[in-house]
Amino acid sequence: MKLQLEKLVKNYDKTILDDLNLTINGVQAVGIIGASGCGKSTLLRLLAGIEFPDAGKIRINEVPINLKTVKSYQEKIGYVFQKHNLFPHLTIRENLLLILEKVKKMDKNQAEKRTDELLTQFQLNNQSDQKPYAVSGGQAQRASITRALSNNPSLILLDEPTAALDPLLTGEVLSAIHDLKNLGKDFIFVTHEISFLRNFADYVIFMDAGQIIEHGDIAHINNPTTEKLKQFLTFETKNQFIGE
């Protein structure tokens, strides 16, 4: 995967992303970390084409992400939110079928076949006729990941996929994500799980106050060069240790 950011700016009431410049090439999983409010989730939404920058350019695998290209681009990616965002009145199976039939325009037989394949792959067969509120948080989030895979994307974007989960359920979701990496999928993800970052990412981006402070190969995280990253890692590692 190749990711390029050029003079990227995003404003709301204030500047959220402040002149981001970055080129990454030849990586499979990019992790974005930083304190709450640093701009990491905003950056992910821009990378997904959900929002657009006020200035600057984004290119992924040499494809520019803009109003002209976003529709075809989004057909080739998957996006998983912090919360599962499944339709609560539909079963797990119906949630998948809806995307395949209404959004991906598959015929009924194709959609049912693809749904069965995904439910089997993610061990959700026994929950397929349950509605989201009737399954565990981990199962609902796995269903959300499964839905994101319905179009067989080459790139998957994850916005803190375990943030809304009980710690006991986090493992099953992270295991499902690891399985996808083993299948050759590319990832850009936001996380607060430093242990997951170390085990999963090939490359790390550390953000603070709307800027990229440090970035590099995942081994870089063991030798941070700025005091801000050192403090962030110490704080996050301590909190996760206490949480365990």
| pLDDT tens-digit map of 203-220 | 999 999 999 999 999 998
Write the pLDDT tens digit of every residue in 99-129.
Answer: 888 877 889 999 999 999 889 888 899 999 9
The strand pair at 203-208 and 211-217 is best described as antiparallel
Chain-centroid distance, C-alpha 166: 19
Q: Mean pLDDT throughout 61-72?
A: 94
Higher pLDDT, 6 or 234: 6
Give the mean pLDDT of the chain.
89
Both structure tokens of 6: 């050029």
Q: What percent of the chain has pLDDT over 90?
A: 59
Q: Does the structure show a pLDDT above 60 at 241?
A: no
Under DSSP, is residue 123 helix (H, G, I), strand (E, B) or coil?
A: coil
Q: For the chain, what are the domain ranges?
A: 2-76+159-243, 89-153
Model pTM above 0.85: yes
Higher pLDDT, 142 or 224: 224
CATH 3.40.50.300 fits 2-76+159-243, yes or no: yes
Both structure tokens of 23: 């080129």
User: In 92-131, which positions are buried (b, 16+ CB within 10 angstroms) versus exposed (e)?
Assistant: bbbbbbbbbbeeeebeeeebbebbeebbeebebeebbebb
pLDDT of residue 242: 42
| Contact partners, residue 239, CB within 8 Å, separation at least 6 | none
pLDDT range class, residue 237, cuts 50, 70, 90: low
C-alpha span between 95 and 109 (Å, rounded): 16
